Amino acid sequence: MYLVFLLSALVMSCGSSSDQMEQAKKMSAEQNHEEAIRLYTIAIEGDGRDPEPWHQRGVERMKIGRLQDAEADLTYAIMLDGNKSESYYQRALVRFKSGKNKESMADINKAIQLEKSSADYYLFRAVLLALKGSNSEGVLDLDYAISIRPASAVLYYYRGRMQQRCNETDEAISDYTQALKLDGKNHLCYHWRARAHISRAEMKAAESDLAEALNQVNKAAKKYPDSSLLYYYSGYYKAQLAGLFTKKSYEKYRTSCLEDFEKGGEISATSGLEYYLVAEALFYLGDYTAAEQEFMNSIESQVASTDDLVNEASAWLGLGNCAFGREDFETAIVNYTRCIELEGGDVSTAYSNRAWCKYRKNDRDGACADYKIAIALGDPSAEEALEHIGCTKTVVRK
């Protein structure tokens, strides 16, 4: 009789856990993450040896920012089943959000080892590579990801970003254009294609793309009025239009830009990326001192964005540009050096700009060395600058 009762209890427990899992997934789909976590916890209490509820609870905890708990859950799921690639992938995401980039890379490498046909895995590894400055390696991963999922606008966008950071402007514009054919609503795609056009002095095309980036982000803000980030992007694009193109409308755009930042700040606490966008906007508007403070705020807030490939190195490049704008070349050199040391930012630009600062500080040899590295990294403007200051053309391979 006791054995029959025990078996009956076990069957009821398994059924109950299954029911909790289904309800938890429903709650997750409805964005009710706390309730999903509660239900996954009940499922774990019913059968703690099943890796799935541990995995799913870890994912839910990541969604609400409980990163330490999320990592612990996913680690336990991996301990129970070390052959599930998705658990390594999700833990890679958690560790990236926690600033553990080395550990994140180890996890995504393991996920790819276990499952070689996931475009998402190759995309995430490409992003990690780009954020540490290995853009050409990131392009290779995205080539493979696109071969798996050729109709993905996201993959073309990211490959465009990495091509752009390799100074492969034609290829970048081609990728952005393909991405927009697949999804014409991506404001980031329009923005970065505009920046590519600017690098080729194609200002009319750049202005058109920036205006469309602003149009798309404003449409998105109407659909998602509680998204503070969309207001920051709107202000960021307006600042670029004001600073680069519409001199007659400068004050109108400047005022509207600052109003957007104020709206974004009213919705939620400012994130590292939002501070960065404010800093970039103020730089375009010519307020270098205010921009420097916002770049510092972004660093203190541990700025890191996979969407825009922005990180701390990007902020130090911005600080270098601000000091450059104020003609404080000594400080600019320090800031560009910090960007180069951290890697992951636009390193060729940092070398080129540091070279000019060194030249202005009468360090011609140092300037020549930096320009040669910039040329090796693919900066098309560095070769002309090298000739301008009278250096030989022997290039230093970096």
Residue 85 placed within a domain: yes
Whether 161 is in a domain gets the answer no
Asked if residue 183 is part of any domain, the answer here is no
Closest Cα to residue 300, out of 341, 271, 263?
A: 271
Based on C-alpha coordinates, what's the Rg of the chain?
A: 24
Q: What does 158-221 look like in DSSP terms, one character per residue?
A: HHHHHHHHTT-HHHHHHHHHHHHHH-TT-HHHHHHHHHHHHHTT-HHHHHHHHHHHHHHHHHHH
Domain that holds residue 22: 13-94+102-113
Nearest of 90, 152, 91, 96 to residue 119 by alpha carbon: 152
pLDDT for 7: 36
Do 318 and 293 contact (CB within 8 A), yes or no?
A: no
pLDDT in the model for residue 296: 97
Question: Is 71 domain-assigned?
Answer: yes
Do the domain assignments include residue 46? yes
Q: Which among 338, 370, 373, 376 has a CA at the least distance from the CA of 357?
A: 370
Q: What is the pLDDT along the chain (398 residues), one digit of tens a residue?
A: 444 333 333 334 444 577 888 998 999 899 999 999 999 999 999 888 999 999 999 999 999 999 999 999 999 999 999 999 999 999 999 999 898 989 999 999 999 999 999 999 999 999 999 988 889 999 999 999 999 999 999 999 999 999 999 889 999 999 999 999 999 999 999 999 999 999 999 999 999 999 999 999 999 999 999 999 999 999 999 999 988 876 667 777 888 999 999 999 999 999 999 999 999 999 999 999 999 999 999 999 988 888 888 889 999 999 999 999 999 999 999 999 999 998 666 788 999 999 999 999 999 999 999 999 999 888 878 888 988 888 876 655 55
Cβ–Cβ < 8 Å for 327, 302:
no
Q: What's 25's domain CATH number?
A: 1.25.40.10
pLDDT of residue 393: 66
Geometric angle at alpha carbon 78, from 74 and 83, rounded to 5°: 135
In whole angstroms, give the CA distance from residue 367 to residue 301. Answer: 33
* C-alpha span between 377 and 366 (Å, rounded): 17
Q: Is residue 260 part of a domain?
A: no
Decide if 296 is inside a domain. no
Total domain count for the chain?
Answer: 1
173 falls within a domain: no
